[in-house]
Amino acid sequence: MNIHLCQGDETLEDALNFINETDKEGRRYTLNPELDRCYVGDEAFASAPVIINYKNTYYALHEV
């Protein structure tokens, strides 16, 4: 699992674009901000390939 910490005024969309552009294996991810919000210890958090931390809230990405 990789964790991306949003910096400054970076948005969730900015973070997703950055992750998609820089994935070393060329994988692409998607995110639904409402459905993919997750918490430390739940299944979505544990099984996600990438987690975004945006303003102390976690979002689990899904591979496309």
Model confidence over 20-60: pLDDT tens digits?
A: 999 999 999 999 999 999 999 999 999 999 999 999 999 99
- Helices (H), ranges, 1-64: 12-22, 43-47
Average pLDDT over residues 4-20: 97
Domain that holds residue 33: 2-63
Question: How many domains in the chain?
Answer: 1
pLDDT for 42 equals 95
* pLDDT at 1 > cutoff 90: no
Stated pTM of the model: 0.92
Cα 19 to its chain centre, rounded Å, is 8
Going by C-alpha positions, the residue among 6, 36, 39, 35 that lies closest to residue 17 is 6
pLDDT for 29 equals 98
Please check whether residue 3 is in contact with residue 51, taking contact to mean a CB–CB distance below 8 angstroms.
yes
